[in-house]
């Protein structure tokens, strides 16, 4: 690989040109089905309004498309997750579901997915995201971790597989971690294994979550398959402009998690005066305003809810826009801070290796 990343460029262009699921050995019928799927997706993109923020699907660097609104499942109660997933897909029209082993609800999510499939939703209409947890961030554990996720979700492949956090934890790590609980992270080795998952047809796209621009640049130096998605906390109370700009400069799509802020912290944007003012002006809910703000920045959003009415309301984001003056008001919220800092899981203030949130985020705070 040359210093300009030649092999990365050619593989990236090849994936874009193919624009379909990473190849296994396929018969003609399978290939025709995939080509039809891509044609339908392309038509959906053509039919969507051209204005940024009103696209129902967003094209990824691989050539695949990600739905702009998805259902988040973080902190969903296990007793509610299955029904929420089923309701979101079959009643509200969601096609993207985001989950992770850390959430300890993948089996419930899988049951909801299977119920939706049995109700007649085609698998290739869905976009399912999961993540590689920190204890599995070594090359020899990547494939088995994915296989466990596929088993729990009752799926043959994932649409998107993300590195959940760029920190390698020892099995059984405490909170806060001991210094010995934070292990060396072989980023290149782990990414090579994730690339193999793409080539083997077990995953369509790979990406990252909770990366800084510094860590993203490190990954881009070794990636042969470009990360398609970077999933980050983003909302008007934490715009996260630096990583958004870094991703845009590299053709990486950004998915905003916690796009409504957090009612469990003191960052409850649903009741923020600016958000409430804009929502009343537009005759929309504060949640819809926060989510539309994300779409108009060019990100996809994955709001979490287990309430059927809110699930349905959270996807009513198309056919209207936040005016520029109101966008500027939302962009001017001064108290910028994360609701998900990683401190509890990764910071040890006395022993390190990360002694502060600032160190954890490479001073991008």
Return the active site residues: 103
Q: Are 61 and 252 in contact (CB under 8 A)?
A: yes
Angle in degrees, CA 106, 66, 64, rounded to 5: 115
Q: How far is Cα 338 from Cα 275, in angstroms, rounded to an integer?
A: 18
Q: What is the CA radius of gyration of the chain?
A: 20
Return the sign of the alpha-carbon dihedral for residues 131, 134, 135, 138. Answer: positive
Residues 6+ apart with CB under 8 A from 127: 66, 67, 70, 95, 96, 97, 159, 160
Q: In whole angstroms, how far apart are CA 149 and each of 48, 76, 100, 169?
A: 33, 17, 8, 19
DSSP state of 154: T
Neighbours of 197 (CB within 10 A): 22
β pairing state of 158-163 and 71-72 = unpaired
Angle in degrees, CA 184, 185, 186, rounded to 5: 115
Beta bridge partner(s), residue 254: 230
Nearest partner of 131 among 305, 252, 257, judged by Cα: 257
β pairing state of 203-209 and 229-233 = parallel
Q: How far is Cα 207 from Cα 330, in angstroms, rounded to an integer?
A: 28
Chain length of the chain: 365
Q: How far is Cα 346 from Cα 344, in angstroms, rounded to an integer?
A: 6
Q: How far is Cα 216 from Cα 225, in angstroms, rounded to an integer?
A: 13
């Amino acid at each position: 690989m040359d210093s300009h990343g030649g092999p990365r460029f050619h593989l990236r262009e090849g994936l874009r040109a193919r624009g379909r699921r990473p190849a296994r050995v396929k018969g003609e019928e399978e290939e025709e089905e995939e080509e039809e799927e891509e044609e339908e997706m392309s038509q959906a993109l053509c039919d969507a309004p051209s204005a940024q923020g009103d696209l129902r699907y967003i094209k990824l660097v691989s050539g695949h498309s990600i739905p702009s609104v998805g259902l988040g499942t973080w902190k969903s109660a296990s007793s509610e997750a299955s029904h929420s997933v089923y309701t979101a897909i079959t009643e509200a029209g969601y096609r993207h579901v985001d989950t992770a082993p850390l959430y300890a609800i993948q089996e419930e999510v899988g049951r909801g997915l299977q119920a939706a499939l049995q109700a007649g939703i085609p698998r290739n209409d869905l976009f399912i995201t999961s993540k590689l947890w920190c204890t599995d961030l070594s090359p020899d554990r990547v494939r088995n971790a994915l296989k466990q996720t596929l088993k729990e979700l009752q799926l043959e492949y994932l649409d998107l597989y993300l590195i959940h956090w760029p920190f390698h934890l020892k099995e059984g790590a405490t909170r806060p971690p001991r210094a010995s609980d934070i292990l060396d992270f072989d980023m290149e080795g782990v990414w090579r294994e994730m690339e193999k998952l793409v080539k083997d047809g077990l995953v369509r796209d790979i990406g990252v979550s909770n990366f800084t621009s510094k860590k993203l640049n490190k990954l881009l130096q070794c990636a042969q398959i470009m990360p398609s998605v970077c999933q980050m906390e983003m909302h008007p109370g934490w715009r996260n402009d630096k990583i958004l700009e870094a991703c845009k400069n590299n053709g990486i799509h950004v998915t905003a998690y916690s796009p409504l802020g957090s009612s469990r912290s003191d960052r409850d944007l649903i009741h923020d005066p600016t958000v409430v003012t804009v929502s009343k002006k537009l005759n929309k809910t504060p949640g819809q305003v926060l989510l539309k703000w994300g779409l108009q920045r060019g990100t996809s959003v994955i709001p979490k809810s287990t309430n059927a009415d809110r699930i349905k309301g959270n996807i009513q984001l198309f056919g209207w826009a936040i005016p520029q003056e109101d966008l500027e008001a939302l962009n001017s919220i001064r108290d910028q801070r994360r609701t998900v800092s990683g401190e509890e899981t990764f910071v040890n203030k006395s022993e390190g290796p990360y002694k502060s949130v600032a160190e954890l985020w490479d001073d991008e705070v």
